[in-house]
Structure 1
Amino acid sequence: MNNEAKNNLKKGGKAAIYSSLINLLLALVKGVIGFLSGSIALIADSIHSFSDIVASLAVYVGLKLSMRRPDEKFPYGYYKIESFTSLIVSVIIVITGIEIALDSYNAFLNPSTIEIPLVALFVAALSALVSFLLARYKQEIGRTIGSQALINDGKHSFIDIFSSIIVFVGILSSYMGYLRIQGISGILVALLIVYMGLKLAKDDILVLLDANMDPEKIEEIKTIAESVDGVEGVHAIKVRRSGPFVFAELHLQTKKGLSVENASEITGNIKKAVKGRIKNLDSLMVQIEPFKKERLRVAVLVENKNGLQSDISEHFARAPYILIADVANGRIISTVVKDNPGTTLEKKKGIETAEFLEKEKVDVLVSTGVGEGPKYALSDKSIDVMVPRGKNLEEMIMDVYK
């Protein structure tokens, strides 16, 4: 875990603590005024606020535990604790909704008048305002650090806004003489709470089961990886969330015979490019596999221009001509013989020939006369070098395609 990730988790922990303290104060005020006024809706909202405290503390504990470094027992880290605490928050939301529904149903059957209604109305309005500010604060921090638990806690606070508004309407209706409205208001709050809790719980369970929650991110990773030089194809991309972090893996297709150094360089470039674009990406696992093209461009160094009847040259830079054949569907579909530009130079003939082969988009060079220097240069340009096998040029070229 890098320093930025640690700082993000600390920010989330502070947000959860601030939220707990504010909710504690709010719950006490609503509870006292609800008890003094006899408002069942305000008392229910107070209980709801106490559930917010438990939820925020659960988020805090989850974020703190997520900061632990991976160890022998948990080599992938403790990040899922954050997702688990998010699930606990969701369950608390559902239970709270059920409790409020039962209390509100009882208030509907046995309505009562409210004492100090103006004070109760003020507290309900204050609760809505504080919940709005808390919700925005927690969701903003949650999105900044990528914490689903904190985002869920923020959504929980948004429920509190509607809850307090409905309580306000219920108290106002009771004050005007419509006593049963308060019970109905409480039931509406409860239904809203249960719905949101179930929705959040579903998302948390999917994250814990490593479900693919973001198909757009898969396409984004594919696009980024395919833009890296040396990549022939990308498939089998898997993305999962673990707490606030993202883990991904992909299968990378490269040219057959790619050197270990080149493969390592391509892998490093992909990881750098993807991590630079995907926020909160903790790990990207890349598995390399050879890619067999449906169409290959094969080059053979030759002594003369007689097509497939040309004589093979045993030299690389000094070979006068280069035969280039396109192979597809198990047969040679076209051939062309071109002058070797390396023969016109006094120095660096091999480099000139290698650059020419790269410009012609050659995949494989068939030759026995390539030294270590040119072979390394060709490998660096992702051009394979193969020893000729066969009685004639056609057999040698088709042997490459097998």
Structure 2
Amino acid sequence: MENEKTKLRYKRILHTSLIGILVNIGLVIIKSIFGVMAGSIAMLMDALNNLTDVVSSVVTIAGLKLSEKAPDEDHPMGHGRIEYISAVIVAIIIIYAGATAGFESIKKILKPTVTNYSGYSILILLITIFTKYSLGNFVKHRGKENSSPALIASGQDAINDCMISLAVLVSAILSIFAHIQIDAYIGLLIALCIIKAGFELLFDDMNDILGRRADRELADRLKAYISGFEEVLDVHDLVLHNYGPERLIGSVVIDVDSNMTANEIYKISHHIKDDALDAYNIILSAIGICVVNSESNDMRDEIIRRLEHIDGILQVHGVHIDIEEKSIDLDVIVSFDAQYPDAVVDHARMHLTESYPDYTIDIHSDRDM
């Protein structure tokens, strides 16, 4: 059953989208009327751009409602990623609208007609610019507050639209006071801006679908919180999977003293899981344990110091030393920038073998998550 926080999020996104729809419908009607009266292709393209915003908001609402579907056997983590798909649909709509606007503008460039802007046209454009900018800031702010990629995208698109309307305003001023006709060229410029914004949104949303890295700030805050437990000696191997905005599931590994009992480890693991869900809305499905023998602390610190000086190694963790069995087991995070990551791990293994010839060395390469 959805918690109150999730329900409130849906309600706010829905409310924001409805406001956007109503404002944009008003702008479409006003700009279309004055665009036809002035014979301005640029103003009509601007109205078309606002119409795509209406469609985008409708798609956002549809995606939001679909994402609310309860988990089922085929989708045990719910349907939150539908919000990302809806954002992609919005991007495609924007690209299509931009391409359509571009073709119409090119036609008018090839067969130019005279525009008849008036003082009322300039006043209307000034009002719409102010309205659109205010709407964009409002929607974008609500999107950030509620972790909605579709709302953030819609808000940024509305802010970008202000520059488009500003270009139309310049065209109107030049037409009235200097008798310079650049309306069709402004229309083409608007079309290119729309297409560019659409592709930027599309690529950004595709990153979420492909599996974008979890927010570093959130991950660092969670690790710092877990490190705050007295029993936890180190935190590493945090992996977070995104199943939609504010729907994260993951796992983490903690280092604990080897003298802790199984019951003590269970208690601290259970406490960490509960706190991660309550404080960060993150489901930690698994907490791995790495035991650290206090008798080998100095050796452990020396191994970490030696390996972290090797180029390409970002971090060394999960160091387990068995003095009786003469074995060293550890993980290293190799930078994505390392041209030959296997060679970096081989270098680390060779270095430890030379330093501890009596020990069996086992090194695992981790990703920089």
- TM-score tier, shorter chain, comes to 0.7 to 0.9
Change (3 A) 1:116 1:23: same
Residue of 258, 267, 270 corresponding to 2:269: 267
| One-letter amino acid matched to 1:283 | I
> Following the alignment from structure 1 to structure 2, what is the Cα–Cα distance between the partners of residues 103 and 177?
25
- 1:55 deviates by 0.2
Between stretches 156-165 and 229-238, larger displacement belongs to 229-238
8 Å Cα contact 2:114-2:181 kept in structure 1 = no
CA shift, 1:147, in A, is 0.9
Q: CA deviation at 1:178?
A: 4.7
Give 1:259 shift.
4.3
Cα distance in 2 for residues equivalent to 1:103 and 1:174:
20
The aligned runs of 1:98-113 (5 Å cut-off) are 98-113=99-114
Report the residue type matching 1:47 in the other structure.
L
Q: Residue in 1 aligned with 2:152?
A: 151
Greater CA drift, 103-112 or 13-22: 103-112
Which residue is 2:166 aligned to? 165
Q: Is the CA contact 1:51–1:93 (under 8 Å) kept in the aligned structure 2?
A: yes
What SS is found at the alignment partner of 1:245?
Answer: coil
Q: Would the aligned equivalents of 2:45 and 2:190 in 1 still touch at CA under 8 Å?
A: no
What amino acid is the match of 1:267?
S
Residues 259 and 293 of structure 1: CA distance in aligned 2, closer, same or farther (over 3 Å): closer
Secondary structure at the counterpart of residue 284 of structure 1: strand
Distance change (3 Å), C-alpha of 1:260 and 1:17 = farther
* TM-fit CA distance, 1:194: 2.1
Instruction: State the AA in 1 paired with 2:238.
Output: I
SS of aligned partner of 2:213: coil
Aligned residue identity for 1:48: N
RMSD: 2.4
In structure 2, do the counterparts of structure 1 residues 262 and 330 end up closer, same or farther at CA, with 3 Å as the change threshold? Answer: closer
User: Is the radius of gyration larger for structure 1 or structure 2?
Assistant: 1
Distance 1:109 1:121 in 2: 26
- Whole-angstrom CA distance in 2 between matches of 1:110 and 1:177: 21
Answer whether contact 2:42 2:186 (CA < 8 A) is retained: yes
Asked if the contact 2:109–2:184 (Cα under 8 Å) also holds between the matched residues in 1, the reply is yes
**CA–CA separation in structure 1 for the residues paired with 2:263 and 2:323:** 31
Cα shift readout 1:25-75 (whole Å, capped 9, x = no counterpart): 211221122112100001101111111111001111112222222222321
Amino acid at match of 1:264: Y
TM-score (norm. length: structure 2): 0.74
**Cα distance, 1:175 vs. partner?**
2.2
Pick which of 152-161 and 110-119 moved more. 110-119
Q: Give distance in 1, aligned partners of 2:242 and 2:29.
A: 37
Please give the residue correspondences for 1:192-211 in structure 2 after superposition, counting only pairs within 5 Å: 192-211=193-212
C-alpha displacement of 1:210: 1.9
Provide the secondary structure at the position in 1 that maps to 2:142.
Answer: helix
Shift of 1:82: 1.0
Check conservation: 2:276, 2:282, Cα contact below 8 A: no
What is the match of residue 135 of structure 1? 136
Aligned residue in 2 for 1:349? none
- Tell me the distance in 2 between the aligned counterparts of 1:293 and 1:101: 68
Cα gap change, 1:295/1:204 in structure 2, threshold over 3 Å: closer, same or farther? farther
1:295–1:329 Cα contact (<8 Å) kept: no
Contact 2:241-2:250 at 8 Å conserved across structures: no
2:290 is paired with a residue of what secondary structure? strand
Given residue 289 of structure 1, which amino acid in structure 2 is its aligned partner?
I
**Alignment of structure 1 residues 1-400 onto 2, 5 Å:** 1-253=2-254, 254-256=256-258, 258-275=260-277, 278=280, 281-293=281-293, 295-296=295-296, 330=323
| Residue pair 1:69, 1:78 contacting (<8 A) in 2 also | yes
Measure the CA separation in 2 of the matches of 1:17 and 1:243.
Answer: 22
Report deviation, 1:6: 0.7
Asked whether the 8 Å contact 2:258–2:293 carries over to 1, the reply is no
Contact 2:251 2:286 in 1 (8 A): yes
TM-score of the aligned structures, taking structure 1 as reference length: 0.68
- When structure 1 is superposed on structure 2, of 214-223 and 165-174 the one drifting more is 214-223
How much has 1:88 moved relative to structure 2? 1.2
- CA distances 1:309-363 after superposition (whole Å, capped 9, x unpaired): xxxxxxxxxxxxxxxxxxx8848xxxxxxxxxxxxxxxxxxxxxxxxxxxxxxxx
Deviation at 1:22, TM superposition (A): 1.6
For this pair of structures, how many residues does the alignment match?
A: 299
Supply the distance in 1 between the matched residues of 2:113 and 2:65 (Cα, whole angstroms).
45
Take 1:240 and 1:44, find their aligned partners in 2: how far apart are those partners?
A: 41
User: Aligned letter for 1:15?
Assistant: T
Shift in CA distance, 294/248, structure 1 to aligned 2, threshold 3 Å:
farther
AA paired with 1:9?
Y
Which structure 1 segments of 5+ residues have no match? 298-327, 332-402
- Percent sequence identity is 24
Residue 267 of structure 1: how far off its partner (Å): 2.2
Deviation digits for residues 140-187 of structure 1, max 9, x if unmatched?
211111111111111111121111111111122222345442222223
What secondary structure is seen at the aligned counterpart in 2 of 1:291? Answer: strand
Q: Deviations over 1:238-293 (max 9, x none)?
A: 23433321414233233447545423321233234444554xx3423333233244
Q: Contact 1:66–1:81 (CA<8 Å) still a contact in 2?
A: yes
CA distance in 2, matches of 1:177, 1:67: 55
Flag the 1:293–1:176 CA change in 2: closer, same or farther, 3 A: farther
- Give the letter for the 2:3 counterpart: N
Distance 2:128 2:21 in 1: 14
Listed as ranges, the gaps of 5+ residues in structure 2 are: 298-320, 325-369
